[in-house]
Every structure is written in structure tokens, then in C-alpha cells.
């Protein structure tokens, strides 16, 4: 997963003349070559940089490099002793990030890591890094992914039902729709998309695939629009939005990866280190909020009784309710409207007892 952004691509149009033989004669044909160039505006950049409280010679991790909008800004602020490790499992994103970071004038060192942030501790330990000053994770889908039909993330664009962050491995959305039973499809749509009509849509998928499997985004959108009540089709939110979200989360095991990050990241923070996470929907925000609450107030003793569990606070969420985009950014980048930055600052002198866990609880 990469940095969510606005204006993800610049459209480049190259016009050439091509000689074509028609009826024995050579004629010049006008040909347009259109290409999309990766560019982006990172979400809540100023807030994230301030929250990380960057030290010139510190060690930092960007869990979701994307187009390196956040990574480049971090790298620019590091000195000769500074280090940046930027993770991304999307090959296209890493290519864009490599080009962006190569342009940064800095004495600091950096490395792009081709891995999911779920393996954060493992990848850092391979590099003899066991503690860092700050960790940033932008959990949003990048606009280059959303705005490229071939990736299959967008319900408004025609393309294959892929949705893989790493398009070189793993199951696609089409695979899930073809292979999973009706009960599992219903659960995926209900749990990951909070879709009211999950059962109806899952039943329609199963019925349709009896004659022809769903392979394109347009086919799925048509099926959803026919499956939901007419009133749902008239709502402001597109009827396919929640289903596409649920399939994307399932394909990439996004919540599972987030849980693993939450299990590992705080224990990797140095005293006074900062964990900064940008969430985009209630499912991931709930996991982050609950984890921060447990780390800040881990005591398990009954209310009103003296604490005997020995679980002391490891730090605090600051600010308690997170940060959201201001009016200026919302106007410039509409996709920032659902973003929330949550920050956890580890204590300057944390106790030895480690209580970190990524499991959700109510």
C-alpha cells in the first residue's frame, strides 16, 4: 500500500505521423500515444512531519512508500547520520519512489524495501536495525492505483478484477468471486465493506458464475446495481463502493497486515519515538485507536482496586482523537477528506514490561 494523493497522473500525449499502405498507396496517419506519468500530493504531509518530530541523525521507516511523497520530505530533513527505510510491495510504486528519492539532495542514506510492512521487524533485523526513531504508515490506496483501470481497484473504470497491491502474486478479486462460497462472500462484504446488502449481492455473484465467471470491473458494477434495491442506487454513495473496498481488503489481507504492524511497530520504537498512522475508513481506524488505547492504559485490574498487574503505560496518543485535513488541503485534495492521522508517542523512559498487541478488542 502507498501514499494516498490527488492528481495522481499527468497525461502525456505524443502525436506522430505514421506511414500506412492503403490500396497500394502510402499515406500519413495521425497517431496519438498517451501515457500516464506517476505524480502525487501526499496526504496530511505537514501534520505527519510534525508528528514524527524528526531528528537529523535519526532512523525512520515509511511503511508505505508509494510515490515517495512522505519519504522524500522525510529524507530532505535528515542529516549525514540519518537513515530512511521505505517499504512497498507494489513494483510500480517502488519504481516511482526510486526516481523521486534519487532527486533528493541529502547526506542521509535510504533503502527501498520490496516487502509488505507486515514483515517490518524481520526486514529491519536483516539490516541489523532493531530500534527506530519514528514509523509512518499511510494506509490509503494510492491514486495511481485507483486511477489506473488495469489495476482493477476502481468501480468507475473498466478493467480486470485484479485489486492486488503486488500484481505479481496472490489471488485476485476475480479469484475470490469465482472460488469462495456464498457464505464467505457475504461475510467478506459485510465485515470489510459494512455492506447492508451483502447477502443479496453474494447470491447474485454465485448465480451469475454458474454460467460465466465475473472477470471485469464493469460486470461486477452492473451485477451490484441490479442486486441492490432501487433506493440504494439513488444514494449519494455509489452502490459498488463498499463491495470494491471489501474485495480489496480481502485480496490484500489489509487488516491482517495492519494487525501485524501494530504488534511489531511500537516495540521497535526508541524511547520518545513516534508511530504515525494515516487511516481512511472505520475498520482500520478502529484497530489503530483500540491499540493506542491499550498501550496508553494497559492495566487489567478491576476498576477501583489497586493495580497489581504490573502493566504500565508505554506512552500516549497525542492528540487523543487524531488529526484531520484542514480546509485548504480538502479543497486541493478531495481524497484527504476521509483521512485521519493518529499518533502514538512512546514514553521517554518506558517500563521494561512489553504489552504491545495488535489484536482488536471492544
- What angle (nearest 5°) sits at the alpha carbon of residue 84, between those of residues 290 and 266? 25
User: What are 227's three cell numbers?
Assistant: 442486486
Closest CA to 44 of 138, 131, 126, 119: 138
- What angle (nearest 5°) sits at the alpha carbon of residue 23, between those of residues 21 and 24? 65
175 marked ligand binding residue:
no
Where residue 345 falls (left for φ over 0; alpha for ψ -120 to 50; beta otherwise) is beta
Give CA–CA dist 266/104, Å, rounded. Answer: 29
Which helix (H) or strand (E) element contains residue 33? strand 25-38
117 marked ligand binding residue:
yes
Give CA–CA dist 84/112, Å, rounded. Answer: 9
Give CA–CA dist 60/75, Å, rounded. Answer: 9
292 marked ligand binding residue:
no
Give CA–CA dist 142/187, Å, rounded. Answer: 26
Give CA–CA dist 50/291, Å, rounded. Answer: 22
193 marked ligand binding residue:
no
Q: What is the DSSP letter of 335?
A: G
76 marked ligand binding residue:
no
Gyration radius from the chain CA atoms:
23
Q: DSSP secondary structure string, 238-277?
A: -TTHHHHHHHHHHHHTHHHHHHHHHHHHHHHEEEEEEEEE
SS3 call for 312: coil
What crossing angle do the helices spanning 69-76 and 91-102 adopt, rounded to 10°? 30
Q: Which residues are annotated as a binding site for S-adenosyl-L-methionine?
A: 68-70, 88, 117, 138, 145
Q: Which residues are annotated as a binding site?
A: 68-70, 88, 117, 138, 145
Amino acid at each position: 500500500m502507498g501514499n494516498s494523493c490527488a492528481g495522481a497522473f499527468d497525461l502525456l500525449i505524443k502525436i506522430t505521423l505514421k506511414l500506412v499502405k492503403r490500396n497500394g498507396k502510402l499515406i500519413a496517419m495521425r497517431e496519438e500515444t498517451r501515457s500516464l506519468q506517476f505524480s502525487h500530493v501526499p496526504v496530511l504531509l505537514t501534520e505527519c512531519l510534525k508528528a514524527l518530530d524528526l531528528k537529523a541523525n535519526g532512523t525512520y521507516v515509511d511503511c508505505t512508500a508509494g510515490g515517495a511523497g512522505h519519504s522524500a520530505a522525510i529524507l530532505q530533513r535528515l542529516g549525514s547520520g540519518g537513515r530512511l527505510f521505505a517499504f512497498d510491495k507494489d513494483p510500480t510504486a517502488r519504481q516511482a519512489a526510486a526516481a523521486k528519492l534519487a532527486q533528493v539532495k541529502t547526506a542521509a542514506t535510504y533503502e527501498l524495501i520490496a516487502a509488505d510492512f507486515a514483515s517490518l521487524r524481520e526486514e529491519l533485523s536483516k539490516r541489523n536495525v532493531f530500534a527506530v526513531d519514528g514509523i509512518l504508515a499511510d494506509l490509503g490506496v494510492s491514486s495511481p492505483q485507483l486511477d489506473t483501470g488495469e489495476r482493477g481497484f476502481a468501480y468507475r473504470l473498466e478493467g480486470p478484477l485484479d485489486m492486488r497491491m503486488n500484481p505479481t502474486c496472490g489471488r485476485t478479486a476475480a479469484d475470490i468471486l469465482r472460488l469462495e462460497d456464498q457464505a464467505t462472500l457475504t461475510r467478506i462484504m459485510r465485515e470489510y465493506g459494512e455492506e447492508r446488502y451483502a447477502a443479496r449481492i453474494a447470491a447474485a455473484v454465485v448465480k451469475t458464475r454458474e454460467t460465466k465467471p465475473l472477470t471485469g470491473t464493469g460486470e461486477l458494477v452492473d451485477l451490484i446495481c441490479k442486486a441492490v434495491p432501487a433506493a440504494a442506487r439513488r444514494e449519494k454513495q455509489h452502490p459498488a463502493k463498499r463491495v470494491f473496498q471489501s474485495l480489496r481488503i480481502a485480496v490484500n489481507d489489509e487488516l491482517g497486515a495492519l494487525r501485524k504492524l501494530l504488534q511489531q511497530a511500537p516495540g521497535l520504537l526508541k524511547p520518545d519515538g513516534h508511530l504515525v498512522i494515516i487511516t481512511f475508513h472505520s475498520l482500520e481506524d478502529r484497530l489503530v485507536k483500540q491499540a493506542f488505547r491499550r498501550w496508553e492504559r494497559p492495566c487489567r485490574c478491576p476498576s477501583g482496586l489497586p493495580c497489581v498487574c504490573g502493566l504500565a503505560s508505554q506512552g500516549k496518543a497525542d492528540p487523543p482523537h487524531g488529526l484531520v485535513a484542514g480546509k485548504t488541503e480538502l479543497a486541493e485534495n478531495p481524497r484527504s477528506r476521509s483521512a485521519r492521522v493518529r499518533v502514538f508517542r512512546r514514553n521517554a523512559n518506558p517500563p521494561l514490561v512489553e504489552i504491545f498487541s495488535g489484536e482488536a478488542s471492544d
